[in-house]
Amino acid sequence: MGWVDRPQQVGLRRALVQIHLWMALGLGLYVIVISLSGSAVVFRRELHRWLVPSDYAEAALPATAQVLEWLVDLHDNLLGGPTGRMINGLGAALLLVVLLTGVVLWWPGRSRWRQALALAGPVRSLRFARQLHSFAGFWAFTLLLLWALTAVYFAFPEVFEWLIDYADADPEDEHRPGELLLYQAVRLHFGRFGGWPVRTLWVVLGLLPAALFITGFLTWWKQGRPRAQRFGA
Residue 226 has pLDDT above 60, yes or no: no
pLDDT band of residue 51 (cuts 50, 70, 90) is confident
Please give the C-alpha separations between residue 225 and each of 22, 53, 102, 210, 213, in angstroms, as whole numbers: 11, 53, 19, 20, 16
- pLDDT tens for 153-193 read 999 999 999 998 888 877 777 788 888 899 999 999 999 99
**Residue 109 pLDDT greater than 60, yes or no:** yes
Indicate whether 205 pLDDT > 50: yes
Whole-number Å distance between alpha carbons of 231 and 21: 7
Predicted pLDDT of residue 177: 80
Long-range contacts of 106-114 (CB under 8 A, 24+ apart): 106/134, 106/137, 106/138, 107/3, 107/7, 108/7, 109/4, 109/5, 109/6, 109/7, 109/8, 110/4, 110/5, 111/5
> Would you place residue 8 in the very low, low, confident or very high pLDDT band (cuts 50, 70, 90)?
confident
Q: Is residue 154 within 8 Å of 78, Cβ to Cβ?
A: no
CB 233 within 8 A of CB 17: yes
How many residues does this entry show for the chain? 233
Residue, of 202 and 176, whose pLDDT is higher? 202
Alpha helices for the chain (secondary structure H): 2-5, 11-26, 28-40, 44-51, 63-77, 81-106, 126-139, 141-155, 157-166, 179-190, 195-205, 208-223
Tell me the C-alpha distance between 53 and 194, whole Å: 27
69 closest CA partner among 54, 83, 87, 56: 56
Is the pLDDT reported for residue 231 higher than 50? no
pLDDT at residue 233 greater than cutoff 60: no
What pLDDT sits at residue 57? 57
Q: Give the mean model confidence (pLDDT) for residues 20-47.
A: 95
Asked whether the predicted pLDDT for residue 48 surpasses 90, the reply is no
Rounded distance, CA 138 to CA 30, Å? Answer: 21
The pTM of the full predicted model, rounded to 2 decimals, is: 0.86
| pLDDT at residue 15, as a whole number | 92
pLDDT of residue 165: 86
